[in-house]
Amino acid sequence: MSSIPASLTAPFPWLLADVGGSNARFAWVAAADQAPQHIRTLAVAEYPSLLDAARAYLAGLSLGTLPAGAASQPRSAALALATPVTGDQVRFTNSAWSFSQAELSAALGLERLCVLNDFEALALSLPRLRAGQWQPLGGGAPRWDLPVAVVGPGTGLGVGGLLPNAAAGKGWLALAGEGGHATLAAADDFEADLLRVARRTHAHVSAERFLSGIGLPLLYQCVAEVQGQRAVADVDAPWILERALADDDAVAARSIETFCAMLGSFAGSVALTFGARGGLFIGGGIVPRLGARFERSQFRERFEAKGRYRDYLAAIPTPLITDTLAALDGAAQALSQS
């Protein structure tokens, strides 16, 4: 992870957090020119609120994690959250947590609080990624003089964009959206049948309904029904991934093949929508677990399969973010630009 420049004015120490539907990752920046440190992941389900989780993390810092005499009280915080951020009151999409920004800031004794969507933070992290934090997948190297975008299947499905901040002459403009809830499209009859089955229980089948950790079980059940095969009841995403990678469940294997193909189509649509000629990054926790299976999948083929715009998309790189902690770096960047 990148170090924090000395020129930043947000008062130190900094508390950083990347909070998804399943996990809350925390980090600490004690001073300028220091990379985020003391990274710890807490399970969302084990804490009643974000404040409780933050206090548990800070308590751990004060119990010998930090050097003797170092402050364990943050003066600034940046929180990257897997939910829309539209006002003081924040409610999480994929967990029971909610909070008031003003009340959280007061409870933690902060002088500055920056709250943003997690994929806004992930977008801000992209120019800071080092070689070991991503790997190429078609289309050449990313370009930072052009718009870029990021799509990430994790617990949910996140989408973000990034523009060079030409007006300010420095920094970046991150675009936070809820593209994961856009309507999912079928590319062939098989996928059309999957959507038809899904619509029995979900009037609106968004991309997140299939292309996420919470969506994989639904995709698995739909694949089984369309293929006329028996599905294992009450499966979850880790089970599906494990069975698919071990090649010991045909429905799971076909589900992951379909996941990769439909993710390619969706990512291509996002690249066209953002005009992301600098690159379309793939983030989230699911794809890195697929390894070579993802590289052999139809992802890239389907990414480019947009008719008259095939050549346009063929030139766009689709790097895979392999560092699942990158959003913490983006949270630091957001705090520095706030």
pLDDT per position as a tens digit, 181-214: 999 999 999 999 999 999 999 999 999 999 999 9
pLDDT at 236 > cutoff 60: yes
**How much is the pLDDT for 169?**
53
**Percent of all residues in the chain with a pLDDT value above 90, rounded to a whole number:** 73
State the CB neighbour count (10 A cutoff) for residue 28: 23
Concatenated DSSP letters for 205-223? -BGGGTSSTTTHHHHHHHH
Average pLDDT score over residue span 314-329: 92
Question: Do residues 329 and 127 touch, judged by C-beta distance below 8 A?
Answer: no
C-alpha to C-alpha distances, 230 to 200, 216, 235, nearest whole angstrom:
18, 16, 13
State the CB neighbour count (10 A cutoff) for residue 247: 10
Predicted confidence band of residue 250 (pLDDT cuts 50, 70, 90): very high
pLDDT per position as a tens digit, 60-70: 987 767 766 56
pLDDT at 100 > cutoff 90: yes
Instruction: Please measure the distance between the N-terminal and C-terminal CA atoms of the chain and give it in whole angstroms.
Output: 20
- 19: helix, coil or strand? strand
CA atoms within 13 A on the CB side of 100: 4
Average pLDDT score over residue span 97-126: 95
Q: pTM of the predicted model, to two decimals?
A: 0.87
Beta strands 112-117 and 23-29, pairing class = unpaired
Beta bridge partners of 87: none
User: What does the block give as tokens for 42?
Assistant: 């807490």
Beta strands 76-81 and 112-117, pairing class = parallel
What is the average pLDDT value for the chain, to the nearest integer? Answer: 91
Query: Which residue's structure tokens are 């979900």?
Result: 202
- 266: helix, coil or strand? helix
